[in-house]
Amino acid sequence: MSTVGSIAPGRVATVGVDLVDVVEVVEAIRVFGTRYLERIFTPAELRQSGPARSPVTLAGCFAAKEATLKALTLEVEAMPWLLIDVDLGCAADRGVALSGFAAEAAGKHELESVLVDVALTPHQALAVAFGIRNAARRE
């Protein structure tokens, strides 16, 4: 079951979507190397990508970060990407851990969590982030 199937009706407060071309991640790694990886991805995300630093997995993490920004309606010039930590583990459990002003933005939207669905192909990563409303909040 995907993340979407586990969300109770009426709990989705915000949604963000992003599509990343894997070749863009490959090129960024080629040009910027470790500097790019350490600026964009948390240590946990780098571990998820495996010893070979799978560009497909990294593209999925980046798409999830971008989708999360959109779900939180954050518009910043210099995004501290490490404030969004993506867990692409079990499909029923995918989510992001937020810190700093990303967590503050979630609080302003009265979100208890952000869940993500990510679809990966060898060429693209598509992510949809769902801002999940606090269960106690009623519209």
The pLDDT of residue 1 is 36
**Which pLDDT band holds residue 8 (cuts at 50, 70, 90)?**
low
% of the chain surpassing 90 pLDDT: 49
Mean pLDDT of 81-109: 83
Range of 38-42, 98-102, 109-113 with top mean pLDDT: 38-42
Residue type, 21: D
Structural domain of 110: 4-133
- Strand ranges for the chain from DSSP E: 12-21, 84-87, 95-98, 111-120, 124-133
Sequence-distant (6+) residues with CB within 8 A of 106 are 72, 98, 113, 114, 131
- Asked, for residue 139, whether it belongs to a domain, the answer is no
- Asked, for residue 52, whether it belongs to a domain, the answer is yes
- Asked, for residue 50, whether it belongs to a domain, the answer is yes
The pLDDT of residue 88 is 81
| Spatial separation of the C-alpha atoms in residues 46 and 38, rounded to whole Å | 9
User: What strands lie across the sheet with 84-87, from one edge to the other?
Assistant: 12-21, 124-133, 111-120, 95-98, 84-87
- Asked, for residue 17, whether it belongs to a domain, the answer is yes
In CATH, what number is assigned to the domain containing residue 124? 3.90.470.20
The pLDDT of residue 43 is 94
Domain count, the chain: 1
Pick the closest to residue 94 from 38, 54, 45 (CA basis): 45
- Asked, for residue 48, whether it belongs to a domain, the answer is yes
The pLDDT of residue 52 is 83
pLDDT tens digits for range 26-75: 999 999 999 999 999 999 999 988 888 899 999 999 999 999 989 988 76
- Asked, for residue 125, whether it belongs to a domain, the answer is yes
- Asked, for residue 138, whether it belongs to a domain, the answer is no
- Asked, for residue 57, whether it belongs to a domain, the answer is yes
